[in-house]
Chain A
Amino acid sequence: MTHAGTGDAVHSDALIYDAPAFVPNTDVQGDRCGGYGVIHEKSGGPALAVGVPSRKRGLAPAARPTAAQLYSLAASVAQAKRDARRMAESAGQDDPVEVARAGMALFDDLRNLWKARTLREDEWATVVTFLQGVLHRNHFERLSATQCAAIRAIVDAYVAGGGVRDSDIQNVTRMLRRVRLDPYEPLAVAEP
Chain B
Amino acid sequence: MRTPRCGTAVFLDTTIQIARLVHSRQMKDLIAQRLAQYDVRVTSSVVKQEFKRRLLRDAAYLLQTLARVGSYQGVMRHVSDVLPPKQNRKRNICIQVLETVDESDTDEDRTDRLKLYLRSLLTDGINQFEDMVDSVLPGCGCACANAPIREVRKYERYEFGTDKCSRAKGECGVIEFLRQNEARLRNIVGVVRGLSPKDKSIELRQAEEFIESVLADAQCARRLNPCSLVGDLLIALESAGIPVFYTMNRAESQYLCRALGQELVVRPRNPEKADEE
Contact = CB atoms under 8 A, between A and B. Distances in A.
How many of chain B's residues touch chain A, expressed as a range?
Answer: 35 or more
B121 A184 contact: yes
Given A57-B153, A129-B116, A177-B131, 7 more contacts: A59-B115, A126-B120, A136-B102, A184-B21, A189-B92, A189-B96, A191-B27
Given A57-B156, A166-B124, A170-B124, A187 B96 contact: yes
Closest 4 CB pairs of A and B: A189-B92, A186-B100, A126-B116, A59-B112
How many of chain A's residues touch chain B, expressed as a range?
Answer: 20 to 34
A60, A122, A126, A188 pick with most chain B CB within 10 angstroms:
A188
B124 to A, nearest CB: 5
B154 A184 contact: no
Given A129-B117, A187-B93, A187-B121, A192 B22 contact: no
B153 A132 contact: no
A109 to B, nearest CB: 13
B97, B102, B119, B123 pick with most chain A CB within 10 angstroms:
B102
Contacts of B127: 170, 173
Contact of A136 (B67, B92, B101, B108): B101
Interface in B243-277: 269-271
B127 to A, nearest CB: 6
14 contacts: A54-B154, A57-B156, A59-B115, A60-B112, A125-B112, A126-B119, A132-B101, A137-B100, A182-B25, A188-B100, A189-B23, A190-B95, A191-B269, A192-B88
A174 interface: yes
Interface of B: 21-25, 27-28, 67, 88-89, 92-93, 95-97, 100-102, 104, 108-109, 112-113, 115-117, 119-121, 123-124, 127-128, 131, 153-156, 269-271
Contacts of B155: 57
Given A129-B101, A137-B25, A166-B123, A188 B96 contact: yes
A117 interface: yes
A185 interface: yes
B43 to A, nearest CB: 16
A187 B112 contact: no
A82 interface: no
B69 to A, nearest CB: 15
A189 B24 contact: yes
A187 to B, nearest CB: 5
A188 B23 contact: yes
A111 interface: yes
A52 to B, nearest CB: 15
B112 A191 contact: no
B192 to A, nearest CB: 27
Contacts of B101: 129, 132-133, 136, 186
A169 B123 contact: yes
A59 B124 CA distance: 19
A184 B22 contact: yes
A188 B123 contact: no
B80 to A, nearest CB: 14
